[in-house]
Chains A and B, each alone.
Chain A
Amino acid sequence: GENVEQHPSTLSVQEGDSAVIKCTYSDSASNYFPWYKQELGKRPQLIIDIRSNVGEKKDQRIAVTLNKTAKHFSLHITETQPEDSAVYFCASRREDSSYKLIFGSGTRLLVRP
């Protein structure tokens, strides 16, 4: 069945450094790849997403890259700040008859001041 693998499970960086989280998906029919941020005790919220017709998308300090051939996508956070500390989830979804959203296992990011 569909599967999304996410690495690393935990990531600690110094404030101002960059953070990269990587995901691999198994379903070649997937063509929508969102990233969610979940702060402690709160619900997951979308921070950025990308569709398969695009290789990269940026929004201020956040960027996502997609390699459909390798079935990899990555989240890049530059100039990290303490408020970036949270759990980040990648996900993939097909957009044909099934729109099921499958999540990776999450990455706990800690930004040290």
Chain B
Amino acid sequence: GAGVSQSPSNKVTEKGKDVELRCDPISGHTALYWYRQSLGQGLEFLIYFQGNSAPDKSGLPSDRFSAERTGGSVSTLTIQRTQQEDSAVYLCASSLWDVEAFFGQGTRLTVV
């Protein structure tokens, strides 16, 4: 596709359930980032993938959060046993080595 695509665009889940959020980066982009944005807040770094290197997981808030990137392309962010404080917009971005990072439209997660 022409841009970064995220799915679903909206997700409502019950507290305690697991959720998977998907990101399709721009073809050929080696870097992929996940950020969390709570209402009216900034862009909280979660995890970063760069090529075949080990991901930088330093931003993941707890061991309930994990992410994979298969074949250097599609990425899935998984949140286990969701809590109400996990409610936020989850943004994915991709870039080549040293140029602009492009964002997807985000997944709005609501935990009820």
Contact = CB atoms under 8 A, between A and B. Distances in A.
A81 interface: no
A44 B43 contact: yes
Given A101-B93, A106-B43, A1 B58 contact: yes
Given A95-B98, A106-B42, A106-B43, A45 B103 contact: yes
Interface residues of B, number: 24
B50 A98 contact: yes
How many interface residues does chain A have, given as a range? 20 to 34
A105 B42 contact: yes
Contact of B43 (A32, A95, A103): A103
A45 B3 CA distance: 12
A100 interface: yes
**Contact residues of A: prevailing secondary structure:** loop
A43 B48 contact: no
Given A98-B50, A102-B45, A43 B95 contact: no
A105 B53 CA distance: 28
B100 A34 contact: yes
Given A99-B98, A101-B45, A105-B41, 12 more contacts: A43-B103, A43-B105, A44-B91, A89-B43, A95-B98, A98-B50, A99-B31, A100-B48, A100-B56, A101-B33, A101-B48, A106-B41
Interface of A: 1, 32, 34, 36, 42-46, 49, 89, 95, 97-106
